[in-house]
Structure 1
Amino acid sequence: MKQSRETVNVPACFISNHEGFLGTIKTFIEDFVVTEIDIHGLNVRAAAATRTSGAEENQTSTEMKDNSHCSFSQDSDVSSECGADTLLSSSESFDLDVILGQSVSEELEQFVLTLRDKRPVELELSLGSFADKHQRANVHRAVRHRFPFLMTVTIQPEIRVREDPDYRELSRLVTEDEAEDFFRFIDAKVRGSSYAFAPDDNKEHRTAVHHFLNRRFGKLVETKTFSDHGRTSISVRLREQGRPKKRTADERKEEEIYTAFTLCKENLETLEAISYMAAAFGVLPSDFTYAGIKDKRAITYQSMVVKKVSPQRLKEKTAEFEKRGMRLSQVRSVSEPLRLGQLQGNHFDLVVRNLKPHDAADTHSSATDVNTRLEMLVKEAVKNVKTKGFVNYYGPQRFGSGQGVQSDEVGLALLKEDMVSAVRLFFTAEEGDDPQSLAKKHFLQTDNAKESLALMPLSKARERLMLRAMNRYGTGPDGCAQAWLSLPHSMRVFYPHAYCSRVWNEAVAHRLATMGHGVKEGDLVWVQTHDNKMEEAAETSSPQVHVVTNLEEQAGIFKLEQVLLPMPGNTVKYPENAIGAWYQERLARDGLADCRFRVSGLKLNLPGCYRPLLAVPQNLSYQLQRTAGGEAAGGGARDMNSLALKLSFNLNSSCYATVCLREIMKSDL
């Protein structure tokens, strides 16, 4: 195999020695269909048939037939599995460009600048009319989330925004930056947290600030004066037992709502789809929970649960979502959210087109002879993978498919807590003049987040969130940290996970190349349960792990499919042989010899996990068929005798169909 960028990501090390063949995948979007298998072993497209039909199900107008496919067109970035770290942050942002529209959002930005520059009295801005009460609530929450020093008022159905008079009063006593920071501190409402104003040696002035704070926020905060190195300042602390804001009965009821649905998306990231839906409903991205992230360039079906959105509200948005490449079905009320990893695996229906032998340059064979040989090659390859499985590499989606900086490089910078480098790596552009690349290049060249934000396409949710944060907090280390914190936790943790995934891939390749396909002393394996069956899991942070002894190696007690390798983290143990030493050397080479696999400033914790060295597809079946329109090598001309391979199989969670195909075909995809 040629050493392309992909084979660096996914080493060319195989279990079987069959010849394989050439072919193309994802020629058409319907050639790659992924359907989640839930924790009960049910295909999520067919799961509705096992439920008791109720009024909620019967009224769902967006129900899809089990064998239907979506048909959309939407461009996005590449996505992949993120791992089993489920801690979520509450620091996600609403996208005002989506909620208000870009023109109104820009007017609001200009309104804020006018307030800060000219300080006009009683200046107001109309955000427009919103007939739906849920939409009005979304606007109120989104504006307050972005600009805590503003207040919104409704004169039905119009919403107007003006400066909060309390902010105006405080900004006369302290600097505007301090006033804004203080209001963000208040808006966060983290009990027991504190905020300190700049040193102030004027006692009368400090008294005026104390009086304002106690009069306006006395139920929430307590203030005191303290001295440090001869300078005196005011400290404000949120009360541990402050009187909580009284919520209405409707608000309390809304907090307890969980709505499940099946999401069908095409050519769209899971996280991008969530960002759009969150903005449309005025909730946080972390209010959406899911079991796993699916491929981008594919038709995918997966379960999701959203908090604080009723089934009826969800149904009202289905037509809007369909325009964005998302189709919702099986909408129903449930009692709890989903957890990352709460699935058994995925079912794949794939088509590989334009099949050719690896020595396709041989022009002396007839088309009939070539097809006969292909049938033999496919039969042998499928049989081998059915019985022997494949090396359980993390697939190329884990690292990104472009030619620029890849996700694992960003993750390494984050693990080193080099926030500025991580941001600049993230914004490294691909070659080309598409709007996203131009916006990234502009940021790297000018360091101007505001101008780059104006250039960045609305569909690029991650980039826009980070640019907004840097526009507000700057592009230094603190501003870059705020940029990463502006992303949902599931997005942030993706990058360190990508780095750990690359190390795991390299560890497997080194293990097989230096120690062979037998189980060796010091290897880690699954332990046997009381019923003499091996525990089954695709990836877990706390399996029953056993270290192979010399006697067990000599007796051949364990098989290669039982061997585990650790994903680096702060809770795993490493093999007690040469591979354990290799891990330490590999991490040290990247400057992570003493890494704790925690980035506290970004609320990231990587405990690590154990991943089976091999994966075996279940229910693998195939069918060869002639295609009436396959493209000949080099494109252009049609080959009426072209063969296509249809594959159907199940994989455990966090296993990659593209890696399984590499083992079958022995070729880059």
Structure 2
Amino acid sequence: MKQDIEAVNVPACFISDHEGFLGSIKNLIEDFVVTEIDISGQQVKAAAATEASGCASSCGNSTAAADCKDYSNSSTSQDADVSWESGADVSLPSLESFDLGVILGQSVSEELEQFVLTLRDKKPAGLELSLGSFTDKYQRANVHRAVRHRFPFLMTVTIQPEIRVREDPDYRELSQLVKDDEAEDFFRFIDAKVRGSSYTFGPDDNKEHRTAVHHFLNRKFGKLVETKSFSDQGRTSISVRLRERGRPKKRTAEERKEEDIYTAFTLCKENLETLEAISYMAAALGVLPSDFTYAGIKDKRAITYQSMVVKKVSPQRLREKTSEFERRGMRLSQVRSVSEPLRLGRLTGNHFDLVVRNLRPHRASDTHSSGADVHTRLAALVKEAVENVKTRGFVNYYGPQRFGSGQGVQSDRVGLALLKEDMVNAVRLFFTPDDGDDPQSLAKRHFLQTDNAKESLVLMPLSKARERLMLRALNRYGTGVDGCTQAWLSLPHSMRVFYPHAYCSRVWNEAVAHRLSTMGHSVRQGDLVWMHGGSEKTEAGETGAAEIHVVTDQDEQKEVYALEHVLMPMPGNTVKYPENSMGTWYQERLSRDGLADCRFRVSGLKLNVPGCYRPLLALPHNLSYRLQRGDRKQDSDSDPLALTLNFDLDSSCYATICLREIMKCDP
């Protein structure tokens, strides 16, 4: 049941007792192909292949696979709807994922950063900076929106086709009445123009001062907003909301129509992260990354096919950019109009095609036989392994990708620091470098040694979007507690919540290993299982508490349930834990990390971790395999064997974990 060598990220507990074999994966990018399966059960590549050869042509006849890192178990926290009388704010869309370095170019982006520092330090009157010329009107619109969101105290002015920036005098006037961070957040609120949204300033018990703020807001923005004071727990604050019909400018019929356009497409990408691909497309189309929606994140080191929807871009305009995208390793097909965006987790699963090369037995003595004997032995090992997993499945661990790659600090340790609300330590863990002198590690090492975010930003590669967003915020707000909090807030919510989920995933993996090693493969009293006839998951891959049943003594005696029905909770604030020794294990495990009283909420970062229930076992569907000789032109008995595997997995299941059960080692 256990291997001698324990994996760094994944406990070495297995369900089957076959011998397995050795081999290597990810030798070539063509060895890994992952294709999303939509909610109707269709592979998105199947339709795309009829329209354009795309990435499929670059694969040749190879069949391969990669792990799909769907965040379908990642629950996003959303603010509840509130009334105007409550004085609470409606959440505004996060635009921080937009990288000005992508659309402006690195040199102009750095020049803009320096311009901002000069404004802050010296406050010279009339100072302006040219951002360059932009002939495409969509690019100009994108520059305006992104710059104003990043630096709300700036005005952007178009002198076609040039865009210039200078300090906004309205901002300067407001910043003399309220705190700088409140002024910035208010201008972001104004610029976002989210219908029904509101913004609340901090408590202000000085009536004369509140009156001055009211007068300023009504004088400058009276056609757009309305203001009111309200009391909460003895403190008085000013709240501002957008008028139902108020707009700062009249939009044309074409602009109003464009706001409601949604265009769907199938994206094939090679050696690109999903968010990196979106950043490139957003810059080229003149929209924001938040205008793109998708069902799941896919691996970088792979050829992947997935569905996407982009807002405010017509199918014709998207097709016009396809040749530009191809130069970045992205191919688009099945471009068509749709009526709504995609939602995270809205997929059935993923289809994997993978190649394992250089097969050999675990036992060194077997390799001393003749080539033909070794091949015969390997064929028997592979058949036994594949048939076992096809029948019995595999332990449904979260894969190594969940915890990060390289020798640096694992993502779960960052998540633990965030759950403990230790923002400074979380930032320093985030910037822990790998061994080596690659540019990213050098930049991280420089930051930890000097605390100089500005210099580290110059060293950080442009492709490292998360690190660059964090460094920009640290440079702007400092490296203290407040600055580190702002640095985390600079990341989009989906990125921030990844780290607490990584910690919870680590605990889940350890819980499953403990459950199997101490309680065996039988269902025990107190285990949590699917309700009979109630094994439906939500679109996010989670199971609601109403579907959970606690196994009784009678259930255990009559063997009503099998191990495949058992669920293990991923820690959070809405889950129940097993009512047996595993419940105690969870309590002790969380206490050991200082989370005995954890609410699994980080209010300062707007993070909520409700938890979920994950099946202990996963089963591959439509599993097939083929053994073949190596790639040499003339086959010989000494050629190494390669194994081609094809199978489907439910969303949030990892192909490398399935392969691990087959091979009985970390591939």
TM-score bucket of the superposed structures, by smaller chain: 0.7 to 0.9
- Compared CA separation, residues 137 and 192, structure 1 to 2 (3 A): closer
Could you say which residue in structure 2 is the equivalent of 1:53?
none
For residues 592-634 of structure 1, what are the alpha-carbon distances to aligned partners after superposition, in whole Å with 9 as ceiling and x for unaligned? 111121222222112211111111111111110001349xxxx
Select which of 546, 550, 554 maps to 2:549.
Answer: 546
Structure 2 counterpart of 1:668, which letter?
A: D
Structure 1 counterpart of 2:581, which letter?
A: A
Mapping of residues 408-447 of structure 1, within 5 Å: 408-447=412-451
Structure 1 counterpart of 2:220, which letter?
A: R
Q: CA deviation at 1:579?
A: 1.1
- Contact 2:261 2:313 survives alignment (8 Å): yes
- Compared CA separation, residues 134 and 564, structure 1 to 2 (3 A): same
Q: CA deviation at 1:585?
A: 1.2
The 10-residue stretch of structure 1 (109-118 or 174-183) with the greater mean CA deviation from structure 2: 174-183
SS in 2 for 1:193: strand
Mapping of residues 125-524 of structure 1, within 5 Å: 125-169=129-173, 183-184=187-188, 186-187=190-191, 191-196=197-202, 212-219=216-223, 220=225, 222=227, 236-239=238-241, 241=243, 244-245=246-247, 247-248=250-251, 249-362=253-366, 364-524=368-528
Matches of 1:596 and 1:234, distance apart in 2: 29
Matches of 1:536 and 1:142, distance apart in 2: 38
Matches of 2:537 and 2:124, distance apart in 1: 67
Q: CA deviation at 1:644?
A: 0.4
- Contact 1:629 1:640 survives alignment (8 Å): no
Q: Tell me how large the CA RMSD over aligned residues is.
A: 3.2
Matches of 2:236 and 2:553, distance apart in 1: 67
- Compared CA separation, residues 212 and 572, structure 1 to 2 (3 A): closer
- Compared CA separation, residues 162 and 395, structure 1 to 2 (3 A): same
SS in 1 for 2:442: helix
Could you say which residue in structure 2 is the equivalent of 1:54?
none
- Contact 2:261 2:311 survives alignment (8 Å): yes
Matches of 1:656 and 1:207, distance apart in 2: 58
For residues 277-323 of structure 1, what are the alpha-carbon distances to aligned partners after superposition, in whole Å with 9 as ceiling and x for unaligned? 33444444332221112222211111111222222332233233323
TM-score by length of structure 2 reads: 0.87
For residues 118-159 of structure 1, what are the alpha-carbon distances to aligned partners after superposition, in whole Å with 9 as ceiling and x for unaligned? 444433322222111111111111111122222222222222
Could you say which residue in structure 2 is the equivalent of 1:570?
573
TM-score by length of structure 1 reads: 0.87
- Compared CA separation, residues 239 and 620, structure 1 to 2 (3 A): closer
The reply to whether residue 580 of structure 1 matches residue 586 of structure 2 is no
Q: CA deviation at 1:354?
A: 0.3
- Contact 2:68 2:655 survives alignment (8 Å): no
The 10-residue stretch of structure 1 (344-353 or 214-223) with the greater mean CA deviation from structure 2: 214-223
Mapping of residues 609-624 of structure 1, within 5 Å: 609-624=612-627
Could you say which residue in structure 1 is the equivalent of 2:63?
none
- Contact 2:293 2:310 survives alignment (8 Å): yes
Matches of 2:145 and 2:495, distance apart in 1: 23
Could you say which residue in structure 1 is the equivalent of 2:64?
none
- Compared CA separation, residues 358 and 156, structure 1 to 2 (3 A): same
Q: CA deviation at 1:175?
A: 8.4
Structure 1 counterpart of 2:352, which letter?
A: F
Q: Percent identity?
A: 75
- Compared CA separation, residues 454 and 591, structure 1 to 2 (3 A): same
- Compared CA separation, residues 110 and 383, structure 1 to 2 (3 A): same
Mapping of residues 598-613 of structure 1, within 5 Å: 598-613=601-616
Could you say which residue in structure 1 is the equivalent of 2:560?
557
Mapping of residues 109-128 of structure 1, within 5 Å: 109-128=113-132
Matches of 1:49 and 1:174, distance apart in 2: 57
The reply to whether residue 35 of structure 1 matches residue 39 of structure 2 is no
- Contact 2:140 2:286 survives alignment (8 Å): no
Q: CA deviation at 1:70?
A: 6.3
- Contact 2:76 2:607 survives alignment (8 Å): no
For residues 144-200 of structure 1, what are the alpha-carbon distances to aligned partners after superposition, in whole Å with 9 as ceiling and x for unaligned? 112222222222222222222323455677887776566456546685433359999
Structure 2 counterpart of 1:47, which letter?
A: A
Matches of 1:185 and 1:170, distance apart in 2: 14
- Compared CA separation, residues 483 and 607, structure 1 to 2 (3 A): same
Structure 1 counterpart of 2:15, which letter?
A: I
For residues 75-111 of structure 1, what are the alpha-carbon distances to aligned partners after superposition, in whole Å with 9 as ceiling and x for unaligned? xxx9833224245772332211111111122222222
- Contact 1:125 1:161 survives alignment (8 Å): yes
The 10-residue stretch of structure 1 (575-584 or 34-43) with the greater mean CA deviation from structure 2: 575-584
The 10-residue stretch of structure 1 (647-656 or 117-126) with the greater mean CA deviation from structure 2: 117-126
User: Which runs of 5 or more residues in structure 2 are unaligned?
Assistant: 61-66, 79-91
The alignment covers a number of residue pairs equal to 634
SS in 1 for 2:111: helix
- Compared CA separation, residues 607 and 69, structure 1 to 2 (3 A): farther
Matches of 1:292 and 1:666, distance apart in 2: 28
- Contact 2:511 2:582 survives alignment (8 Å): yes
- Compared CA separation, residues 414 and 475, structure 1 to 2 (3 A): same
Structure 1 counterpart of 2:655, which letter?
A: A
Q: CA deviation at 1:269?
A: 1.8
The reply to whether residue 80 of structure 1 matches residue 69 of structure 2 is yes
Matches of 1:519 and 1:211, distance apart in 2: 68
User: Which runs of 5 or more residues in structure 1 are unaligned?
Assistant: 51-59, 72-77, 631-637
Select which of 36, 59, 68 maps to 2:57.
Answer: 68
- Compared CA separation, residues 180 and 197, structure 1 to 2 (3 A): farther
- Contact 1:285 1:488 survives alignment (8 Å): no
- Contact 1:70 1:327 survives alignment (8 Å): no
Structure 2 counterpart of 1:85, which letter?
A: S
Could you say which residue in structure 1 is the equivalent of 2:20?
20
Q: CA deviation at 1:69?
A: 4.2
- Compared CA separation, residues 121 and 557, structure 1 to 2 (3 A): closer
